Amino acid sequence: MKILITGAGGFFGQALLPELVRDHTVHAIYHKTPMFLPPCDFSVADIREEEVLSPIFAKFQPEMVLHLAGITAVSHALAITEDDVKAINVTASGTLAKLSQKFSAKIIYTSTDLVYSGSEGGMVKEDGKLEPLSLYASTKLEGETAVRESTNDFLILRLALMYGFSKGKVKSFFQEAYNKVKSGQKVVLFNDQYRSSLSVLDAARMMKKLITSQHAYKLLNFGSAERTSRAQLFSRFVQKAGLDERLLEIRSLKEFPNLPQVEDVSLDVSILVSMGITPMPVEKSIDETVKNLPNS
C-alpha cells in the first residue's frame, strides 16, 4: 500500500515508520523535527500550506494518509497563539482530508482521549460524553469535525496517552520524567488522573495492523485495555528499571487547580479488540519499554 504520513518526525511517527516501511511504500512528511528514519521518500513541509501539500499528493498518489502531525500536547498548545493552534490542528486537518478525498485516499486522523469528559467514571465508549477542557483538546475535536466535513473516507482515532522513548528532540512526559529521575531529580505524578496509557511501540504495531483491517468504522478508541494513573504506570516502570522510587512525589491533580481537571478518560477499546487488534498487557509493555531504554 502507498501510505503518506504526516508528523513523521514526531514521537509516534518515529516509532511507526520502521513498522510501515517493511511492508508498504511510504512517503513521510515532517516540518521542523529532524527524522531518524529507515529509508523512504520524504518531504519537509508545513501542513498549513495547501500549495505545498497538493503537489506531494499529486506526485505520490497515496492510497492511505496517516495524519499524525499537529500540536500534540496541552503544554505545547499554550506555548503558541490560539490562532496558530487552530490553523495546525483544525484547518490543516481539513485540508489534508480534502486532498485525501481528491486523490481517492483514506485518511486516518489521530485525535485524543482528552476530548472526552473526565467525570463520567472512565472506560469511555466511542459515544461517550465530549467535554474538552483545554485548547489542545478542543482543537483536536474541531479537527475531527473538519475531517468529517471534508471527506467521506476517513477514520478518527482517539488516542490514549502514549509512553516510551523518542530518538529525536520530541520527548514525551514519560521520557522527560525518566530523564529527571535518572539525574536524581524529583518528579510529580498524579494518583487520581486515569488514562488507558499505551506504549508507543505497541501503538505502532497496532496501527500497522489497523490500516489493513477491513471494517466500516469511522471512529475508534485507541489505547490499552487497562485503566492506570500516571503514578501507577511510572512507578511500576521505575521499579522495573531499577531507579530510585524515593524521587517520585505522588500528588493529587486537585492540588493543581490551574491544570485541566481531567480525572478519568480511560478508554473502552472493546471494538478495537473485536477487530483482532489487541493491546499488549501493561506489565509486558513496561518490560518492553525497559528493554528499550535510551543509551544516554
- For the chain, list the domains and their CATH numbers: 1-296 (3.40.50.720)
The answer on pLDDT for 20 being more than 70 is yes
Q: Mind listing the pLDDT tens digit for each residue in 68-113?
A: 998 876 667 667 788 989 999 999 999 999 999 999 999 999 999 9
The answer on pLDDT for 211 being more than 90 is yes
Burial of 32-65, coded b for 16+ CB within 10 Å and e otherwise, reads ebebebeebebbebebeeeeebeebbeebebbbb
Q: What is the pLDDT of residue 172?
A: 83
Q: What is the pLDDT of residue 166?
A: 85
Pair 246, 175: CB distance under 8 Å: no
123: left (phi over 0), alpha (psi -120 to 50) or beta: left
- Count the helices and strands in the chain (H runs, E runs): 11, 13
Q: Mind listing the pLDDT tens digit for each residue in 22-57?
A: 999 999 998 876 555 667 888 889 999 999 999 999
Q: What is the pLDDT of residue 39?
A: 74
- Helix or strand holding residue 154 (H, E): strand 154-159
Of the candidates 167, 165, 164, the one whose C-alpha atom is nearest the C-alpha of residue 36 is: 167
CA distance 172 to 170: 7
Report the first-to-last Cα separation within the chain, whole angstroms.
36
CA distance 58 to 275: 32
Q: Which residue has the cell 465530549?
A: 130
CA distance 284 to 240: 11
- Spell out the residues 6+ positions from residue 26 whose beta carbon is closer than 8 angstroms to its own: 3, 4, 5, 17, 20, 40, 41
Q: Mind listing the pLDDT tens digit for each residue in 125-183?
A: 999 999 999 999 999 999 999 999 999 999 999 999 999 998 766 678 899 999 999 99
Amino acid code (one letter) for 53: L
SS3 11: helix
Find the mean pLDDT for residues 260-275: 96
- Helix or strand holding residue 41 (H, E): strand 41-44
Pair 217, 211: CB distance under 8 Å: no
Q: Taking all residues of the chain, what is their mean pLDDT, rounded to a whole number?
A: 93
